[in-house]
Amino acid sequence: MSNLIIVESPKKVETIKRYLKGDYEVIASMGHLRDLPKSKIGVDIEHDFKPEYCDIKGKEKTISEIKKKAKKADNIYLAADPDREGEAISWHLANILDLDLNDNNRITFNEITKSGIEAGIKTPRTIDINKVNAQQARRILDRIVGYKLSPFLWKKVRRGLSAGRVQSAAVRMIVDRENEIKNFVSKEYWSIDAKFCPEGSRKSFDASLATVDGKKFEADNYISVDELVERLKSAEFYVANIKKSVRKKTPQAPFTTSTLQQDASKRLGFQTTRTMRTAQELYEGVDIKGLGLVGLITYMRTDSLRISDEARDAAHKFIEERFGKDYIPMQPKMFKTRGNAQDAHEAIRPTIPSLTPDEVKQSGVTNDQYKLYKLIWERFIASQMENCLLNTVNVEIEADGCIFKASGHTVKFDGFTVIYDDSSKDDAKKILPEMTKGEKLNLRSLTGNQHFTQPPARYTEGTLVKAFEENGIGRPSTYASTIKTILDRNYVEREGKQIKPTILGEVITNLMLEYFNRIVDLKFTARMENDLDDVEEGKKEWTKTLSSFYKDFDKSLSTAEDLMEGKRIKIPDEQTDHICEKCGKPMVIKIGKFGKFLACSGFPECTNTKKIIIETDGICPFCGKKVLEKKSKRGKKYFGCEDNPKCEFMTWDIPTAEKCPDCGSTLFQKGGKKGKLICHKPGCEYEKDLSNE
């Protein structure tokens, strides 16, 4: 009896074939095969939002091949990814192949391993129509907003603009943060910091003034600080109180999609698309020495913290063999999944807990695959380990009615931190010398230090993902695509690792706030996500959810068109110091179809335009001219000589202001902060390791 399994990705095909016995053929659909048409809205709004699906252009050959193989098969299993999109792909496949929607022909793999594949094959089910309807509702919502709102923006702002339901709310968040920064008023405040040393000891420690004459110390000018410093200079300092205790530090939960994206951004410097692409590769299968093709992690689109008993037992076995019984908790670690999370899958974890990152690295995986697997493996193993115990010490030092406070700790039992420690380097150094109550202390230094309150930081991709989750904007599986979309549309841009709005993004957001407030209202956007979750759980009817949204949206659109009749919004140009070499007028930055460019402010009289040149501190090691920051066709940053194409020098390594001590050429940084500085001058092999600095 022949069996046909249809998966999404071709990368899974060979991995799955390895573990199947019997007459099984595996083929890939290459993602979606059907969608709404590109040339029109494709939704009959007047008749319950009926969608008009059609075969995706370019997929004809794949559809034909699947149909041909399906005719020869006795059993057909639809094995797209285990999420809403995968359910919708399976549903479309069932319609293309005229399969009975009541048949048990839907299978899912939480992990692409022997046990994961066998478990999926053994438990076929019907297609979950509620999941399909949730995906349809989201797709149609986004299509309505895009096709109705984009033409309005073309007429009132500029042709080629587009709007999205979740993307507009995301841009609003970034614009709001930028406004907070612009409007922030910094306030001055002071601290009084001291260094003390017990008598007979050379080890000093830091302490800060906490109270003065029984009141909390607060100072906003140097005069009161100077008076206090003068008052304390001749005072005697002694230990007024010592409090010792043991603090328990618990491990973090295994990763969800959201926390993986945040930690990969923070620890590895990965953008969200890079994280999800690499995680997909690890899930679908990697060639491991001695094991062959095997999926290294469980499904990476999940917001559940659940762990299977088998995985927990395997982790405990590894922990005991590697670290001993003391590192296994008395009670298994359980983590509570937040209220609105979908608990269909486990948390992201290694499929084989005993397979260490070093063993994976030796199998020749890519650097990104190794780094991300290491992060996932360490977080999971640590989550199943015993707590870390810290001996903490809090000391109060008194002098002339003033109390200084200092705290420190030492590690009593390292527990999970032997594998995954999220403490900062500063925390690790907070060790106080031995002291006794009433002991006199020597004052080494006493200084008043001026500080200023700081505005909130701009979002990075990691902190933006965290903000999405906190505000209920989108779902973890859509975060990466949302960020990519708003960057591609030039509504926001990167400045280093930070994300800030462009002038275009600010203009569009202000327009949306005035006329389409609900589209960019964070609470409303979050409620829409919850409504889609309710559709998935069968609690709400999808067409009614769409109807409720559309009534208000259509009214807002009509009102906006009436109020803006005959009006058009001009996007302000971004001023620069560049002077047009043709007419002498200042050049301004404009945003076109392919991103930013320089244009003469004298347009239309002067039509001079040119690319934006970003100079670096580097000098070309080949010809001695300037090194410029450039972008590849895929938008990836690289560095090359300004005399290109005459000079062919280019590198992905970052030019620095440091010079090679051997030849005087520019040093380039490779591999991040803990990488190395290298010289690209032909014949010079100078390198400097940064990992120990």
Residue 15, C-beta contacts closer than 8 angstroms, at least 6 positions apart: 112, 284, 285, 293, 294, 295
- Split at pLDDT 50, 70, 90, the class of 95 is very high
C-beta of residue 351 within 8 angstroms of C-beta of residue 295? yes
CA distance 637 to 650: 11
Q: Give the residue-averaged pLDDT of 428-436.
A: 81
593 pLDDT exceeds 80?
A: no
CA distance 85 to 342: 14
Strand arrangement of the beta sheet that strand 75-78 belongs to: 24-28, 3-7, 75-78
C-beta of residue 11 within 8 angstroms of C-beta of residue 284? yes
- Split at pLDDT 50, 70, 90, the class of 691 is confident
Taking alpha carbons only, the member of 512, 487, 511, 481 closest to residue 499 is 487
Q: For the chain, what is the largest distance between any 2 Cα atoms, rounded to a whole number of angstroms?
A: 96
Out of 24, 299, 515, 550, the active site residue is 299
- Split at pLDDT 50, 70, 90, the class of 635 is low
434 pLDDT exceeds 60?
A: yes
Sign of CA dihedral 541, 546, 549, 555: negative
Kindly state the helix (H) or strand (E) to which residue 275 belongs, with its residue range: helix 272-284
CA distance 51 to 139: 10
Taking alpha carbons only, the member of 315, 352, 349, 353 closest to residue 332 is 315
**636-644 CB contacts, 8 Å cutoff, 24+ apart:** 639/668, 642/613
CATH number of the 136-179+459-563 domain: 1.10.460.10
Q: Give the residue-averaged pLDDT of 482-493.
A: 92
651 pLDDT exceeds 60?
A: yes
- Split at pLDDT 50, 70, 90, the class of 235 is very high
Instruction: Give the pLDDT confidence score for residue 75 in this predicted structure.
Output: 94
Instruction: Give the pLDDT confidence score for residue 427 in this predicted structure.
Output: 57
> Which amino acid is present at 473?
I
Q: Give the residue-averaged pLDDT of 214-226.
A: 91
pLDDT tens figures, 296-321: 999 999 988 999 999 999 999 999 99
Cα atoms in the 13 Å half-sphere on the side-chain side of 250:
9
Instruction: Give the pLDDT confidence score for residue 644 in this predicted structure.
Output: 85
338 pLDDT exceeds 70?
A: no
Instruction: Give the pLDDT confidence score for residue 339 in this predicted structure.
Output: 57
Structure-token match 């106080």, residue found: 432
Domain segments of the chain as ranges? 3-127, 136-179+459-563, 188-244+393-409+418-452, 257-383, 574-610, 614-689
Instruction: Give the pLDDT confidence score for residue 74 in this predicted structure.
Output: 93
Q: What is the average pLDDT score of the chain?
A: 91
Both tokens assigned to 418: 């032997």
> Which amino acid is present at 626?
K
- Split at pLDDT 50, 70, 90, the class of 426 is low
Which is more confidently placed, 43 or 163? 43
pLDDT tens figures, 601-613: 999 999 999 888 7
Strand arrangement of the beta sheet that strand 574-579 belongs to: 574-579, 586-592, 595-600, 609-610
Q: Give the residue-averaged pLDDT of 358-384.
A: 95
Q: Do strands 24-28 and 3-7 pair parallel, antiparallel, or not at all (unpaired)?
A: parallel
529 pLDDT exceeds 80?
A: yes
> Which amino acid is present at 165?
R
Judge whether 515 counts as a catalytic residue. no
Instruction: Give the pLDDT confidence score for residue 342 in this predicted structure.
Output: 52
- Split at pLDDT 50, 70, 90, the class of 351 is very high
CA distance 64 to 228: 84
Instruction: Give the pLDDT confidence score for residue 425 in this predicted structure.
Output: 53
Cα-based angle 493, 498, 499 (whole degrees, multiple of 5): 35
Residue 248, C-beta contacts closer than 8 angstroms, at least 6 positions apart: 387, 388, 389, 390
Instruction: Give the pLDDT confidence score for residue 613 in this predicted structure.
Output: 79
578 forms beta bridges with: none
C-beta of residue 435 within 8 angstroms of C-beta of residue 175? no
- Split at pLDDT 50, 70, 90, the class of 693 is low
Residue 508, C-beta contacts closer than 8 angstroms, at least 6 positions apart: 153, 157, 161, 163, 168, 171, 491
Q: Give the residue-averaged pLDDT of 349-376.
A: 94
Cα–Cα distances (Å) from 328 to 333, 334, 356, 385, 419, in that order, read 10, 13, 18, 5, 13
pLDDT tens figures, 151-204: 999 999 988 888 889 999 999 999 999 999 999 999 999 999 999 999 888 889
Q: What is the separation, in whole angstroms, between the first and last Cα of the chain?
A: 64
Instruction: Give the pLDDT confidence score for residue 361 in this predicted structure.
Output: 94
Q: Give the residue-averaged pLDDT of 637-651.
A: 89
CATH fold of 3-127 reads Rossmann fold (3.40.50)
138-174 in b/e burial notation, b at 16+ Cβ within 10 A?
A: bbbbebbbbbbbeebbeebbbeebbbbbbbbbbbbbb
In percent, how much of the chain has pLDDT > 70? 97
Structure-token match 């070309």, residue found: 620
Q: Give the residue-averaged pLDDT of 507-525.
A: 93
Tell if the pTM clears 0.75, that is, is over it: yes
Domain 188-244+393-409+418-452 superfamily per CATH: Topoisomerase I, domain 3 (2.70.20.10)
- Split at pLDDT 50, 70, 90, the class of 292 is confident
CATH number of the 257-383 domain: 1.10.290.10
pLDDT tens figures, 451-486: 999 999 999 999 999 999 999 999 888 999 999 999
Torsions phi, psi for 113 (to 5 deg): -130, 175
